[in-house]
Amino acid sequence: MPANLTPDYLEAERAYKEAKTPSERMECLERMLSTIPKHKGTEKMQADIKRRIAQIKDKMEHERSQKRGGPSLVVKREGAGKVVLVGPPNTGKSQLICSFTNAKPEVAPYPFTTRAPVPAMMPFEDVFIQLVELPALSEDHFEPATGDNVRNADLALVVADLASADPLAQVTSTLQLLERVKIKLSRTGSVEGLEPGWSVKKALIVANKCDCDEDSALLSLMKELWEGDLPILAISAEKGRNLESLRSEIFQSLEIIRVYSKAPGKSLHKDTPFTLKVGSTLLDFAAAVHKDFAENLKHGRVWGSVAFPGQNVSSDYVLADGDIVELHT
C-alpha cells in the first residue's frame, strides 16, 4: 500500500535531516509522527519514528543527568498522561495538587515554596493522570529542569491568581519566559511557521481563586486577550469550585482513549484499561499489550464502537474510547 506522504510530513522529514541538535531532531520527529497518514501502509514508518523518539529522549535524559552529576529532575511520565502546572509564585499550584490528589506538597503564603518538581497522580474515572507541579517562574528564578519537564509533558496548565494585583501580567510573564527557552503553548499543540528547535505544547489557562473575583471583569479581559489561543477555565482550588470541570477538561485535552483487553473465551469485563492516543488502531493496541501480539496479529474482535458486538476487524481498524478488544494471532 502506498504511503501517500503529505507535504507537511515531507517538510518535517527534510527539517529532520538538517537538524543539528537532539532537541531539533525531537521536534521534527514529533511533527513527522503527527502529520504522517495513519493507515496500514505507514505502520512500519510510524513504529520507526516512535522508536527514534524514544531513543533521543533516553539519550537526552542520560546526558542531562551526567551534566548535573546527580539524579534527574525531569519527571518520568506515568499514568494516562503527564500534565505540568506552571506559573508565578503563590498562584495556588500546590493547593490544586492537594485538591486533586493524595499528595501533600507544602502550601505556604510565601513565594518559591516548591523548589523541585512535585509529581502526583490524579484519578479520573478508571485511569490516573500524572500532575507535576513545577517550581515557580519569575524573571530571576527559572529552574533549568522546568523547560525539560514542559517539553516532555502532554499538557501544560498555566495557573494564574485572579485575586492578585495583576493576573494578566502573570499569564504574559509565564508565556514569555517559556518562549525564551523555545517553548510555545497553544490550544491545539501545533503552531505553523516555527523554526526547528521549538517545542509546541497543548495548554490551557487555569484562572485560580475565582471566588475572589466577584464581578469577573478580570476573567472577561483574560478571555478577550487569550481565549483564541488558549482555553481558559476559572476555578477555586481551595473552595473546590469547578474542579470537576477542570478534571474532565484535562482528560479531554489529552486526546486519549481507554481500551480494554479481553482474552479469547473469557467473559466481557472492563478491568484496568490501556490508554492510547485518539486515532490509534488495533495494531497500536496490540503493540501496547506486547510486541509479540503486534508482530503476529491476524485480526481482532471488538465490542463497543463496531456495528455489532464481537465484530471482526483488521489491524488498521481505528479504536474508540471504551472499546473492548480481543486479539487473535
Name the pLDDT band for 327 (thresholds 50, 70, 90): very high
pLDDT tens digit string along 172-206?
999 999 999 999 999 988 888 888 788 899 999 99
Return the ∠ at Cα 162 (arms to 212 and 143), rounded to 5°. Answer: 135
pLDDT (0 to 100) of residue 106:
58
Compute the mean pLDDT over every residue in the chain, rounded to the nearest whole number.
86
pLDDT (0 to 100) of residue 145:
85
Tell me if the domain spanning 82-254 has CATH number 3.40.50.300. Answer: yes
Q: Where are the alpha helices (DSSP H) in the chain?
A: 7-18, 22-35, 43-68, 93-100, 144-151, 167-180, 217-226, 243-254, 282-289, 291-296
Residue 155 has pLDDT above 90, yes or no: yes
Distance CA 86, CA 171 (A): 10
Name the pLDDT band for 64 (thresholds 50, 70, 90): low
Cell of 138: 519569575
Which of the listed CATH numbers 3.40.50, 3.30.1490, 1.10.287, 1.20.58 matches domain 7-68?
1.20.58
Distance CA 60, CA 28 (A): 15
pLDDT (0 to 100) of residue 126:
92
pLDDT (0 to 100) of residue 159:
96
Q: Which of 311, 253, 309, 255 is nearest to 282 (CA)?
A: 311
Burial 100-120 (b: 16+ CB within 10 A, else e): bbeeebebeeeeebbeebbbb
Write down the CATH number for the domain with range 256-328: 3.10.20.30
Cell of 19: 537538524
Name the pLDDT band for 86 (thresholds 50, 70, 90): very high
Can you spell out the DSSP letters for 167-185? HHHHHHHHHHHHHHTTEEE
Q: Where are the domains of the chain?
A: 7-68, 82-254, 256-328
Distance CA 304, CA 306 (A): 6
Name the pLDDT band for 212 (thresholds 50, 70, 90): low
